[in-house]
C-alpha cells in the first residue's frame, strides 16, 4: 500500500513537475524559452528537467527550435506555435541560413525602381520642385512594386522593405527624407512617411586609387633599397603595360 501510494505520489509528483514545466513553456508563447531559464523558474535539478523535456517532446506537446542568433541554443515552445521572427530571423533566414542572394536581388530591384523613377522625373523637364518631388517614392510604393514583381516566395512587410532600402542608403545610391503625412494616407505610419530617391555619387573615384600604390597590399613594407621597392614593383610593371 505504502509502495502504491509512493508510486502514485511519484507519478503525481512528476505530473506536477511536468505540468509546471509545461506551464512555463506555455507562458513563453512565441519566443520559446531556454532550458536554463526553465530551470531557474521551476527550481528543479537539471537532470529532472531534461527527463521531463524529453517526455513532453515524445508526447508531442512541445518542440525545440534552434535560435538563429546563437546556433547552439535551443529554445522550447509549444508544438503548434509558429516561432517568432526574432528566433528564426524572419524573412531573411530560411532554415537558419541568411539568404544573401535573396537580399541582393531585392536590393537591385529596389535600386532600379528608384533610378527609373528619378530618370523619368528628370526627363520630364518641368520646374525643379516638381521634378524633385516626382523623383521620390514612398516606402509603401516600393513595397507594392516588389510584391507585384513576385520575386519573393515569402510575404514581405513594409518594415522588411525599409531595411532593404536602408542598405541602399548605406551603399550611397539612395537618400531618404521623412515628411509629415496625414493619418490615413496610404503608407503613413504614425503621421509620417519615408520617401526615397536615387542619387549619384558626388565625386569620381579619387586620384590615389588610380595608382598601384593606392591599392597595394604590401604598401607598408615598400621602401627604396628593400625587397619591395618602387624600382622593382611588379604591380607598377603591370600597370605601366596596361
Partner 1 sequence: MTQAEIKLCSLLLQEHFGEIVEKIGTHLIKTGSQPLRVIANDTGMSLDQVKKALCVLIQHNLVTYQLQKRGFVEYEAPCSRVLRILRYPRYIYTAKTLYSDMGELIVEELLLNGKMTMSAVVRKVADRLTETMEDGKTMDYGEVSNTFMRLADTHFIQRCPMAPETTETSDAPPPPAPTLAVNEKDMYVVPNLNLIGKGKRRRSFEDEDNGEHKAKRQKQDADSQESPPDDGIYWQANIDRFHQHFRDQAIVSAVANRMDQTSSEIVRTMLRMSEITTSSTAPYTQPLSSNEIFRSLPAGYNIVKQILDQYLTLLADDPLEFVGKSGDSGGGMYVINLHKALATLATATLESVVQERFGSRCARIFRLLLRKKHLEQKQVEDFAMIPAKEAKDMLYKMLSENFVSLQEIPKTPDHAPSRTFYLYTVNTLSSARMLLHRCYKSVANLIERRQYETKENKRLLEKSQRVEAILASMQATGAEEVQLQEIEEMITAPERQQLENLKRNVNKIDASENQVDETIFVLESYIESTVKKP
Question: Does 50 sit near partner 1 (CB under 8 A)?
Answer: no
225/239 Cα distance (integer angstroms): 21
How many residues bind partner 1, per CB under 8 A?
A: 45
143/79 Cα distance (integer angstroms): 33
Nearer to partner 1 by C-beta: 177 or 185? 177
Question: Does 206 sit near partner 1 (CB under 8 A)?
Answer: yes
241/29 Cα distance (integer angstroms): 66
* One residue of 4, 27, 123, 207 binding partner 1 per CB under 8 A: 207
136/159 Cα distance (integer angstroms): 18
* One residue of 54, 112, 132, 192 binding partner 1 per CB under 8 A: 132
Question: Does 180 sit near partner 1 (CB under 8 A)?
Answer: no
- Across-strand partners of 74? 66
Q: In angstroms, what is the minimal distance from the CB of 162 to partner 1?
A: 11
Q: In angstroms, what is the minimal distance from the CB of 40 to partner 1?
A: 20
Q: In angstroms, what is the minimal distance from the CB of 128 to partner 1?
A: 5
Q: In angstroms, what is the minimal distance from the CB of 185 to partner 1?
A: 21
* One residue of 10, 177, 186, 192 binding partner 1 per CB under 8 A: 177
In the complex, the residues that contact partner 1 under the rule CB under 8 A are: 69, 92, 98, 100, 103, 107, 122, 127-129, 132, 163-164, 166-167, 169-172, 175, 177, 199-203, 205-211, 213-215, 219, 222, 224, 229-231, 233, 236, 240
Amino acid at each position: 500500500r505504502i509502495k502504491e501510494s509512493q508510486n502514485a505520489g511519484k507519478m503525481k509528483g512528476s505530473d506536477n513537475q511536468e505540468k509546471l514545466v509545461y506551464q512555463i513553456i506555455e507562458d513563453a508563447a512565441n519566443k520559446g524559452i531556454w532550458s536554463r531559464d526553465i530551470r531557474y523558474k521551476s527550481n528543479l535539478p537539471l537532470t529532472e528537467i531534461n527527463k521531463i523535456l524529453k517526455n513532453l517532446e515524445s508526447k508531442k506537446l512541445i518542440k525545440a527550435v534552434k535560435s538563429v542568433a546563437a546556433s547552439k541554443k535551443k529554445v522550447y515552445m509549444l508544438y503548434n506555435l509558429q516561432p517568432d521572427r526574432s528566433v528564426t530571423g524572419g524573412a531573411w533566414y530560411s532554415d537558419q541560413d541568411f539568404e544573401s542572394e535573396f537580399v541582393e536581388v531585392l536590393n537591385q530591384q529596389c535600386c532600379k525602381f528608384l533610378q527609373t523613377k528619378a530618370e523619368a522625373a528628370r526627363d520630364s523637364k518641368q520646374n525643379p520642385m516638381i521634378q524633385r518631388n516626382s523623383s521620390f517614392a514612398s516606402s509603401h510604393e516600393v513595397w507594392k512594386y516588389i510584391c507585384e514583381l513576385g520575386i519573393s516566395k515569402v510575404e514581405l512587410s513594409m518594415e522588411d522593405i525599409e531595411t532593404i532600402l536602408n542598405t541602399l542608403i548605406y551603399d550611397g545610391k539612395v537618400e531618404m527624407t521623412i515628411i509629415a503625412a496625414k493619418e490615413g494616407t496610404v503608407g503613413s505610419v504614425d503621421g509620417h512617411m519615408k520617401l526615397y530617391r536615387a542619387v549619384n555619387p558626388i565625386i569620381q573615384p579619387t586620384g590615389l586609387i588610380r595608382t598601384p600604390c593606392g591599392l597595394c597590399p604590401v604598401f607598408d613594407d615598400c621602401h627604396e633599397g628593400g625587397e619591395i621597392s618602387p624600382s622593382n614593383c611588379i604591380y607598377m610593371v603591370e600597370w605601366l603595360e596596361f
